[in-house]
Amino acid sequence: MKVIIKKNQQEAGVEGYKVFKEAIQNGAKVFGLATGSTPVTTYEEIVKSDLDFSDCTSINLDEYVGISPDNDQSYKYFMNEHLFSKKPFKKSYLPDGLAEDPEEETKRYNKVIADNPIDLQLLGIGRNAHIGFNEPGTSFDLETHVADLTDSTIEANARFFEHVEDVPKQAYSMGIGSIMKSKKIILEAFGAEKADAVAKMIEGPVTEDAPASILQKHPDVVVLIDEAAASKLSKK
């Protein structure tokens, strides 16, 4: 792991953009993308840049079950707002939150990933060290699946909804087995509330109790964090 510590999220966003730029310069064509507040500054820097994704493919990590793409809390809506409307890709894939047959939808998405090997995967990390919606206890070998969200994840996502009971209880998620096949991974984490998870990911044992710890086994990972998220690392 290459760990980069920046003063704050704004500075880290510039560094995140540089990783994307380098990937494109090295011929990357398929990008795994994440949603939430964490990657926003990276997306802002990308939008301001001259990077061109018109010949590239994007594959998103996850999508809530039961939410339509035009719902302002859907991840499709988020991606359109923060990136796709300003930097369009040739093709952009997200799980279908309204799919009638979840099993068929996971098969479809696994085929999308198999047909489009990911060159650069962007990740955030949950307070319980989840990546995607692969909660603690998820098998490292799992591919796309319907994940039951833990209470802590529902609580963390409640800030985006009017009422906590409005937060979906399930989501489609790219599995850890799929994430680990990406050629390069960049994980971003900001704020003191992520410090425990960051320490487990970088310095803790590799265990399914801390899903992000498996990234220690990947050959090319950049961890991009601010000083607050780095505060519990023994080596800085």
Average of per-residue pLDDT across 133-144: 95
Q: How confident is the model at residue 161 (pLDDT cuts 50, 70, 90)?
A: confident
Q: Does residue 129 have a pLDDT over 90?
A: yes
Average of per-residue pLDDT across 106-129: 97
Q: How confident is the model at residue 34 (pLDDT cuts 50, 70, 90)?
A: very high
pLDDT (0 to 100) of residue 197: 98
* Cβ atoms of 92 and 84 closer than 8 Å: yes
Average of per-residue pLDDT across 191-195: 97
pLDDT (0 to 100) of residue 165: 77
Rounded to an integer, what is the distance from CA 80 to the centroid of its chain?
Answer: 16
pLDDT (0 to 100) of residue 22: 97
Look up the pTM and report it: 0.93
- List 130, 134, 188, 226, catalytic entry: 130
pLDDT (0 to 100) of residue 231: 97
Note if 155 is an active site residue. no
Q: Who has greater pLDDT, 165 or 100?
A: 100
Measured distance CA(201)–CA(184) in Å, rounded: 17
Topology (CATH level 3) of domain 2-230: Rossmann fold (3.40.50)
pLDDT (0 to 100) of residue 236: 60
Q: Cα separations (Å) of 73 from 83, 97, 160, 166, 216?
A: 15, 12, 7, 10, 32
pLDDT (0 to 100) of residue 228: 97
Note if 135 is an active site residue. yes
Percent of the chain with pLDDT over 70: 100
Q: Who has greater pLDDT, 91 or 74?
A: 91
- List 119, 135, 143, 226, catalytic entry: 135
Note if 128 is an active site residue. yes
Q: Who has greater pLDDT, 177 or 36?
A: 177
From first CA to last CA, the distance across the chain in angstroms is 13
Q: Does residue 26 have a pLDDT over 80?
A: yes
Mean pLDDT across the chain, nearest whole number? Answer: 94
- List 44, 45, 128, 188, catalytic entry: 128
